[in-house]
A and B are shown apart, each in its own frame.
Chain A
Amino acid sequence: MSSYEIDGALWSRVRNAIAFLLLIGVAASVAGAVTEPERFYRSYLVGFLHPTSILLGALFFVMVMHITGSVWSITVRRFHENLIGALPLVAVALVPVVLGIHHLYEWSHAEEVAHDTLLRGKAAWLNPQGFTIRAFIYVAIWSFFALRLVHHSTAQDSTRSIDNTRSLKKYAAPGLFLGFISVSLASFDWVMSLAPHWYSTMFGVYFYAGGGWASFATLVLICLAFRSAGMLRREINVEHYHDLGKWMFALTVFWTYIAFCQYLLIWYANLPEETIWFRNRFVGGWAPMSVALLFGHFFIPFLVLLPRASKRNLKLLRAAALWFLAMHYLDLYWMVMPTFYKDGPSFHWLDLAPLVAVGSLYALGFWMRLKKHAIMAVGDLRLEQALEHHNL
């Protein structure tokens, strides 16, 4: 058991580093909010969505692994669990989005809505009160399932009881269903309604696919960081990285599939009310960014991760994971910013501050949990099977 606890001195050092980053991020964000509120809130939305979608992706996969009874993922599961344990913090990170609602969403201005027939029709859904209440309901749903899953998994560390495994399955099934619906609605509220006249039924899946993609990259980075600190080298070996690499590859394909279908259907039908969303992203400085996404989010990861050897090359996997996180940021930036800046992307120092603030807030949540329990799901009854795991 003792070998699966983190060294106290190391833990404190990293905690202090994260806390320091959090302080800087928050201070810079506050400064931005005071001096350039408009720019700040827009950047904040992207900076908030990036780490939040990663936590949500992690939630999805923890539940999927429980339902399918996946064995190989047992040794990496606790990291995912510590990530989703940070989901209640989304409620805190959400506050600036709610405060900045008038800077972000056209439909939040009563006078705009008054002379816009379409927006009047949607006012029952798109209004500031509903937006706020719904947002906190979503967070409540995610936190409830996340905390139940974490609870039963950590309890199993000492009980070693099959009852915990049964409970995990029991929570995972409805959690998956409600989680998927709430994430879709959240993506409609938070992202799609930035262009309130535009709509796409696929949007929720598109948003979630990106989050899941980045969450595997995050998991790989965490595992590799522990590996370089000399921990879990045997428990998370090249076979497990191979599987993580396969997931990264599979989700690259899945994201592309969803993104392409959404685009093709709109391109083909050629209805102006729908094509405007893509048109805004194909003009000026946004055009090269769209091309960059096609290559950076699909072609490069696809070709790099296709050979078996590259999924078993840990250095390459680390580089790919970092690349994924950057591309996921670009994807969200591309979804949010063209609504405000029609001519092209204009990167700003304020883009960075909220990302650091929210990212390190969740990282701190992750890190605080790490100390409380073993860093691996040591109580899982199939742990031995997971250690023997082997790929073709």
Chain B
Amino acid sequence: METAQITPFAAIAEFDTPGALVQAAEKVRKAGYSKTDALTPFPVHGIDEALGIPRSHLGYIVLCIGMMGTAAALLLQWWTGAVDYPLVIGGKPLFAFEFSIPVTFELTVLFSSFAAVFGMLALNGLPRFYHPLDNARMTRRVSDDRFVLVIDKSDPKFHPVETIGFLRSLNPISTELVED
């Protein structure tokens, strides 16, 4: 068999409905696999619980960087207006919380949004233009209408033949051993 000759990267199985994927994922987790993933065209409800994927911590990153934005905005307005170049305009105080709120708010949102987008990309390891899973025949249709379950080779229970056999028992459309 060819399977013996290639270096495997992962064993994958293909399903045609999100429901079938979640059910299969449930069984994979119960069988003791932990280095698992799923490839889906849209976020599938319940897959995180089924595979035991923890909640994202992106929120904390965003909060910290957002607060840096708040601080930067207040410092900027106070230092430029009241310290470095104090100039009375329209009888207004050199610095006051009343007029500094709008810019502070905007910069907080700006910093937070950058943190959300680039934090998300960083956590996902993107951009990444080559991935061994791209070698698989079936992953092309993931962005269309297929739901693929992945068991990574780094899983302690991974075995090229047995894992494929186990995946076959879950009634997928097909299974595949992906080359590294």
Direct contact of A and B (CB under 8 A): yes
Residues in A neighbouring B98, C-beta threshold 8 A? 263-264, 267-268
Residues B1-53 near A (CB distance < 8 A): 45
What is the bound-complex CA distance between A268 and B101, given in angstroms? 13
A260 to B104, CA, bound (A): 14
A-B residue pair count with CB separations less than 8 angstroms: 12
Please, how many angstroms separate the alpha-carbon atoms of A372 and B98 in the complex?
A: 51
Instruction: Report the bound CA distance from A267 to B91 in whole Å.
Output: 12
> A15 to B139, alpha carbons, bound, how many Å?
65
Shortest Cβ distance from B96 into A: residue: A267
Q: Mark A311-342, 1 if CB is under 8 A from B, else 0.
A: 00000000000000000000000000000000
- A307's closest neighbor in chain B, by CB? B59
For A390, list chain B residues within 8 Å (CB): 45
Question: B59 — nearest CB in chain A belongs to which residue?
Answer: A308
B97-114 interface (Cβ within 8 A of A)? 98-99, 101
B104 CB, nearest partner CB in chain A, Å: 12
A264 to B45: give the CA distance in the assembly, Å. 44
Measured between beta carbons, the chain A residues less than 8 angstroms from B99 are: 264, 268
Q: Which residues of A contact B59 (CB under 8 A)?
A: 308
A267 to B, closest residue via Cβ: B98
Please give the distance in Å from A254's CB to the nearest CB on chain B.
14
Residues of B near A308 (CB, < 8 A) are 59
Q: Mark A245-281, 1 if CB is under 8 A from B, else 0.
A: 0000000000000001001100110100000000000
Give the bracket for the number of chain B residues in contact with chain A. under 10
Nearest A-chain residue to B46, judged by Cβ = A390
Residues facing A in B66-108 (CB within 8 A) are 91-92, 98-99, 101
- Residues on A with C-beta less than 8 A from B91 are 270
Could you tell me how many residues of chain A have their Cβ less than 8 Å away from some Cβ of chain B? 8
In the bound assembly, the distance between CA atoms of A267 and B101 in angstroms comes to 13
Which residues of B lie under 8 Å from residue A270 when comparing CB positions?
A: 91
The residue on B at minimum CB distance from A294 is B97
Closest to B60 in A: A307
User: Which residue of chain B is the closest to A260 with respect to CB atoms?
Assistant: B101
Complex interface: chain A residues within 8 A of B92 (CB):
268
* Separation of A284 and B92 alpha carbons in the complex (Å): 23
B43's closest neighbor in chain A, by CB? A392
**Measured between alpha carbons, how far is A260 from B99 in the docked complex, in Å?**
11
Within the complex, the shortest CB–CB distance from B50 to chain A, in Å, comes to 14
Q: How far is the CA of A308 from the CA of B55 in the complex (A)?
A: 12
A53 CB to nearest B CB, Å:
26
Report A-chain residues with C-beta under 8 Å of the C-beta of B45. Answer: 390
Cα distance, A260 to B97, chains bound together (Å): 11
The CA of A390 and the CA of B48, in the complex, are separated in Å by 14
| Chain B residue with the shortest CB-CB distance to A306 | B63
- Complex CA distance for A264 and B92, rounded to whole angstroms: 13
Q: Least Cβ distance of A2 to chain B in Å?
A: 33
Closest to B99 in A: A268
Q: Considering the chains assembled together, what is the distance between the CA atoms of A270 and B98 in angstroms?
A: 12
A390 to B99 alpha-carbon distance, docked (Å): 41
Assembled-state Cα–Cα distance A308/B59 (Å): 10
CB proximity of A267 to chain B, nearest CB, Å: 5
Complex Cα distance, B45 from A72, in Å, reads 17
Query: How long is the Cα–Cα vector from A390 to B91 in the complex, in angstroms?
Result: 53
- Nearest chain B CB to A268 CB, angstrom units: 7
> Complex formed: what's the CA distance from A308 to B91 in Å?
44
B46 to chain A, nearest CB (A): 9
| Bound CA–CA A267/B92 (angstroms) | 10
* Whole-angstrom CA separation of A268 from B98 in the bound complex: 8
| Assembly CA distance A153 to B105 (angstroms) | 42
Nearest B residue to A264 via CB reads: B98
Cα distance A217–B23 when bound, in Å?
A: 40
Interface string of A377-392 (1 = CB under 8 A from B): 0000000000000100
> B45's closest neighbor in chain A, by CB?
A390
A267 neighbours in B (Cβ, 8 Å): 98
* Complex-state Cα separation, A264 to B98, whole angstroms: 6
Q: Mark A153-196, 1 if CB is under 8 A from B, else 0.
A: 00000000000000000000000000000000000000000000
9 examples of A-B residue contacts, CB within 8 angstroms: A260-B101, A263-B98, A264-B98, A264-B99, A268-B92, A268-B98, A270-B91, A308-B59, A390-B45
Which 6 A-B residue pairings sit nearest by Cβ, starting from the closest?
A267-B98, A264-B98, A260-B101, A268-B99, A268-B98, A264-B101
Given contacts A264-B99, A268-B92, 10 further A-B contacts (CB under 8 A): A260-B101, A263-B98, A264-B98, A264-B101, A267-B98, A268-B98, A268-B99, A270-B91, A308-B59, A390-B45
